[in-house]
């Protein structure tokens, strides 16, 4: 039987992985936004 502490540690590990995935996605989105803004600035 899995202990409560073990379950919490598993959930924490999964949350850390998900947080890192979201940080990476945010970085990609910000890079794309900067690129799109640069295109718009060059057009006007």
pLDDT of residue 11: 98
Can you give the pLDDT of all 44 residues of the chain as single tens digits? 789 999 999 999 999 999 999 999 999 999 999 999 999 999 97
pLDDT of residue 2: 85
The sign of the dihedral angle between the CA atoms of 9, 15, 18, 20 is negative
pLDDT of residue 25: 99
Give the predicted TM-score (pTM) of the model.
0.76
pLDDT of residue 35: 98
The closest alpha carbon to 10, from 20, 23, 18, belongs to 18
The closest alpha carbon to 27, from 15, 35, 16, 17, belongs to 35
Distance, CA of 41 to CA of 32 (rounded, Å): 14
């Amino acid at each position: 039987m899995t202990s409560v502490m073990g379950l919490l540690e598993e959930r924490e590990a999964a949350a850390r992985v998900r947080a890192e995935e979201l940080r990476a996605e945010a970085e990609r989105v910000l890079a794309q936004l900067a690129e799109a803004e640069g295109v718009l600035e060059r057009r006007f």
